[in-house]
Amino acid sequence: MSYKINTKVEFEKFVSEHWNELNEYFDSKFEKQTTPIYSSVDIRESRDKIAPVDHNMYPAGFNNLCSLDLGYATEVFSQTISSINKDIKNIGIVPESHTKNLFYLDHLAMLGKAVRDAGYEVTFLSFDNNLFADESELNLISHSQFDLQILKAEIKDGKVFASDLEQDFVILNNDQSDPIDIDWKSLTTPINPTPLIGWFARQKNKHFSYYNKTVESFSNHFDINPDILQAKFRTVENVDFSSKEGLEQLGQAVDELKSELPEDKKIFVKASQGTYGMGISVVSSGEEIISMNRKARNKMDIGKNKIKFTSLLVQEGVDTILQYDEMPAEVAIYLVSGKSVGGFMRVNSEKKADGNLNSRGMVFRKFCISEIRQNQDHKAKEAVYTVVARLATLASTEEIKEVLN
């Protein structure tokens, strides 16, 4: 089938020439009630496509954004929160419980700064009583020596409090791979992103199904070959790496997908509920899955907070052409309310271009995309990445609609 835009090069040219039109399209699609207040999208660029390989609803990594981009994030936070309710003053941020990760604390400090600079009082609070012992607060110092205080959260009459201060709005930065034991529907304090879409419920399989539908609609509208913007995938359910149940079916799915791709393409087998780069194997054939040794199966069996992986995403490997200091690299784009606000490169000296870069050996390199703005010079490649990131986040709004309904 022939399209007006058939290749990656043609798509890049189209983005540079139709930047405002593209952003008007996205702005018309995002809805206030279902757009996550923030998100991040991991993007791989190969010789012939630019495609997302992961979407994070509760992103870490704001410490990896450059200061210019963090300033723009502040602007969009201000616009977004004031549009929700102009009377919001006190904002609570609920973090993960792994407070010994000092780089994660750097992230919290920068996220807190972005929201605080938007004109709000920011309090970090947690519902995890195990963090506090006999105290009601936890005082920490991040890797970059930022002071951070986390207060014990309480619920009174359906409202969220910390140290008797009512929170007008809560930003959730906990992916709930270990579900927080709260009846979220009983709360009247607005929380974004919705706590109903945590990893206890969310599936990558479903996200990429919605992403493909989103790309199909987008591609039909602009007459673009959708293959430029997506990685092919399969889904496999009821796999048990411990007992080897379902491994034959999983291996078959690998081989089926492999038959549709160039011979040298790798296949990424990912836990559908995996996060933090866990539960990922990169293989060349189904036999590699079927003949996995116990150590490899153990890594695929259990993830963060002891989630057992039984649902798998079998995804086309997008071998990156990006490099930083001769190391393979991929791009992460950060969004606030569906608008791109910055990003960084993830590079890994221990991996090849077709490997999983979100693993041991990875480092981050900042770049600024604040010049990629309406009616300004937008011919940089980062403009293309923002379009893909907005597509992925638009797909996530469909996930949210499903759980809210």
What is the structure's pLDDT at 279? 76
What is the structure's pLDDT at 305? 58
What is the structure's pLDDT at 275? 65
d(CA 72, CA 374) in angstroms, rounded, equals: 13
For tokens 């003053």, name the residue.
89
d(CA 402, CA 405) in angstroms, rounded, equals: 5
* Amino acid identity, position 138: L
d(CA 107, CA 73) in angstroms, rounded, equals: 14
pTM of the model: 0.91
What is the structure's pLDDT at 301? 77
| Cα angle 394, 170, 68; round to 5 | 65
What is the structure's pLDDT at 276? 63
From start to end of 21-164, where are the E strands?
38-45, 50-56, 90-94, 121-126, 137-141, 147-156, 159-162
Among residues of the chain, what percentage have pLDDT more than 90?
A: 66
Residue 107, SS3 per DSSP:
helix
What is the structure's pLDDT at 241? 86
Q: For 289, which DSSP code?
A: H
Which stretches of the chain drop beneath a pLDDT of 70?
274-277, 303-305, 354, 370-380
d(CA 268, CA 316) in angstroms, rounded, equals: 6
Count the alpha carbons within 13 Å of 204 in the hemisphere toward its beta carbon. 32
What is the structure's pLDDT at 154? 95
What is the Cα 51 distance to its own chain's centre? 13
